[in-house]
């Protein structure tokens, strides 16, 4: 039986997705931008709950994975967990560090699809795919617990609690993806930064601004200029 908290974790992101769909119906661009900010604020009521759920996911799941074949792996920065086109034989959980899921565009430019940190499952869709569609690269020293895909699928079919926990994780990822898509639909650096701050609560330290620019899909220089304008106004 699920608790109220379990239901809240699953339902809240889907309510936010419904609200997201409503945002797109605003005809006026300025009103639409304001609606996006309101949406991010509304859904951030569940942000801590969802973030906490993600960050402790592996610790919560590990007791239910007893008996499965696992490999404890450590990757140095720049090392690949897998390459695009490799067969999916293992499912990777990050226990420390960061992994980027990357697809290269025809121009050769990298496009980061996922930034997986501690507690995250790398390339969730690979659980039901025959081959990987992206490269996975460690960007810091990273510890991984890798489980045999076939055994994990059998365990998911037999363990509804484990399956429910995975559903929570995927719902939270969908919420994150929807928010990020809406932020990228905004035209100016200022609007994107406003939406990001409403979502996350604060601007990261200056040493993280290059990463923030990447998340906002703007140049680092454009972000620095916007930061300078805001500092001048304070």
The pTM of the full predicted model, rounded to 2 decimals, is 0.60
Would you tell me how many other CB atoms lie within 10 Å of the CB of residue 175? 21
Closest alpha carbon to 124 in 97, 83, 93? 93
Q: What domain range includes position 219? A: 203-234
With beta carbons less than 8 A apart as the criterion, state whether 212 and 203 touch.
Answer: yes
So what's the pLDDT on residue 63? 72
Judged by average pLDDT, the poorest of 1-15, 29-43, 77-91 is 1-15
Structural domain ending residue among the three candidates 156, 185, 218? 156
| Residue-averaged pLDDT of the chain | 77
Closest alpha carbon to 198 in 214, 186, 210, 211? 186
Q: Compute the average pLDDT of residues 204-215.
A: 83
**How many whole angstroms separate alpha carbon 99 and alpha carbon 229?**
33
Angle between helices 209-216 and 189-200 (to 10 degrees): 110
Q: If residue 199 lies in a helix (H) or strand (E), which one and from where to where? A: helix 189-200
With beta carbons less than 8 A apart as the criterion, state whether 103 and 113 touch.
Answer: yes
Assigned domain for 10 exists: no
- Give the tokens for residue 101: 């899921």
Integer-rounded Cα Rg, in Å, for the chain is 19
* Number of domains the chain contains: 2
So what's the pLDDT on residue 59? 63
Please say if the pLDDT value at position 12 is more than 60.
Answer: no
Closest alpha carbon to 122 in 106, 103, 99, 102? 99
Assigned domain for 224 exists: yes
Q: If residue 136 lies in a helix (H) or strand (E), which one and from where to where? A: strand 135-138
Assigned domain for 125 exists: yes
Report the half-sphere exposure of 228 (CA within 13 A, side-chain side): 6
Structural domain ending residue among the three candidates 99, 132, 156? 156
Structural domain ending residue among the three candidates 99, 128, 156? 156
């Amino acid at each position: 039986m699920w608790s109220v908290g379990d239901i809240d974790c699953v339902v809240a992101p889907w309510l936010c997705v419904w609200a997201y769909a409503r945002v797109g119906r605003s005809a006026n661009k300025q009103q639409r931008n304001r609606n996006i900010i309101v949406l991010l604020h509304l859904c951030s009521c569940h942000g801590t709950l969802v973030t906490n759920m993600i960050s402790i996911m592996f610790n919560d799941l590990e007791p239910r994975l007893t008996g499965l074949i696992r490999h404890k792996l450590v990757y140095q920065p720049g090392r690949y967990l897998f390459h695009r086109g490799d067969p999916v034989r293992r499912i990777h959980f990050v226990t420390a560090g960061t992994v980027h899921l990357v697809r290269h565009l025809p121009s050769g430019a990298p496009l980061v699809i996922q930034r997986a940190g501690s507690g995250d499952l790398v390339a969730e869709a690979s659980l039901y795919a025959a081959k990987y569609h992206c490269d996975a690269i460690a960007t810091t020293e990273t510890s991984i617990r890798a489980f045999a895909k076939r055994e994990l699928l059998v365990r998911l079919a037999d363990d509804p609690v484990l399956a429910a926990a995975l559903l929570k994780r995927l719902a939270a990822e969908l919420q994150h993806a929807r928010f990020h898509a809406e932020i990228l639909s905004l035209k100016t650096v200022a609007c994107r930064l406003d939406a990001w701050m409403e979502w996350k609560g604060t601007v990261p330290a200056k040493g993280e601004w290059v990463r923030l620019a990447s998340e906002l899909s703007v140049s680092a220089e454009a972000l620095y200029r916007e930061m300078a304008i805001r500092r001048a106004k304070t």
